[in-house]
Amino acid sequence: MLILGIESSCDDTCAAVLSKERILSNVLSSQHQIHSRYGGVVPELASRQHLQSIHLIVSSALEKAACTLDDIELVAATQGPGLIGSLLVGFSYAKSLAAVKNIPFVGVDHLAGHILSILLHEPKPAFPYLALVVSGGTSSLYLAENYTSFQCLGRTRDDAAGEAFDKVAKILGFSYPGGPQISRSAEDGNCEAISFPRAWLASDSLDFSFSGLKTAVANYVQQEKEHRRKLHYGNICACFQEAVVEVLVKKTLYAARQYGIQTVVLGGGVAANFRLRSQMQKACSAVGIDFYCPELQLCTDNAAMIALAGWHAYRENGATHLDQDVYSRSDLG
């Protein structure tokens, strides 16, 4: 079974071809250069760029997989959550291909893709596992029971972790996306130099909150500027990053204990953060929990995870009707 996956929920145009769970091609066209000067994604520019890229990217994915559309047996595309204009480009393109070629079509929840992306390479965890999905739009904890059944145990009440990275980067004058720059700058800093707050919420809560932390960084920077003190970017980044990572790690471990789960998995763009990966690994090892983290290119948005999630959704529930529309918010949280 050859599956064509298409992802266009935000600012990356992605296409991939999978043979069941094996990646034959995984192609991405990033729009970071277009949006970097605005400090975040401009929805109108994103959808226009998707329109320009989608055909080239899909053709490139087919070519790299050494196949043609005639070989494809299932088309999967991200249905939501995301920016409506961006989603519509990939979703409509995929539906058209499926209709013209008379191939089954399946709409995929982007978050299901992130939860399952760890299954695209060895070693693969067994179900059930706990998935922490942290990206620009999501910070949620899921109990993944199987390929299509996910229970949301906690979610952010305000900013997502990646959004906090991007907003703090903007405060510091870094370009978008801010996560990679903050983690690079943090390497030169002391993560104990500044005390930034951690939002634990209620003692048994598995929800997250990062907007107070972002405000604390903004206030700190403002005060330092008022006192004409030179900003130590490395220290600010290291301390901010530590505050995010500590909350993510402790709440994930708490959830694993509460639900008796022995396997923890990361997903989403922030899962590319080395401090998060290493601290989660350390915390899991200390209590005998197995920890799995996707390869870097499978952490951020990609179409291989959409093809994989689509294949399993199709096997479980069949095809998605072509009159279905995209959605901006997901039931998965």
* Residues forming the site for ligand KG4 (CB under 6 A): 10, 135-137, 162, 165-166, 177-180, 183, 268-270, 272-273, 300-301
User: Which CB atom, from 270 or from 308, has the smaller least distance to ligand KG4?
Assistant: 270
**Element holding 233 (H helix, E strand):** helix 233-259
Cβ-contact 241, 207 below 8 angstroms: no
Shortest distance in whole angstroms from residue 292 CB to ligand KG4: 17
Shortest distance in whole angstroms from residue 296 CB to ligand KG4: 9
User: Which CB atom, from 23 or from 133, has the smaller least distance to ligand KG4?
Assistant: 133
Shortest distance in whole angstroms from residue 305 CB to ligand KG4: 10
* Residue 215: Cβ-neighbour burial (10 angstroms; 0-12, 13-18, 19+): middle
Please tell me the distance from the alpha carbon of residue 79 to that of residue 332, in angstroms, as a whole number: 13
User: Which CB atom, from 263 or from 273, has the smaller least distance to ligand KG4?
Assistant: 273
User: Which CB atom, from 37 or from 227, has the smaller least distance to ligand KG4?
Assistant: 37
How does strand 22-30 pair with strand 12-19?
antiparallel
Shortest distance in whole angstroms from residue 12 CB to ligand KG4: 7
User: Which CB atom, from 62 or from 115, has the smaller least distance to ligand KG4?
Assistant: 115
Asked if residue 43 has a cis previous peptide bond (ω within 30° of 0), the answer is no
Please tell me the distance from the alpha carbon of residue 221 to that of residue 228, in angstroms, as a whole number: 10
End-to-end CA distance of the chain: 31
Shortest distance in whole angstroms from residue 303 CB to ligand KG4: 12
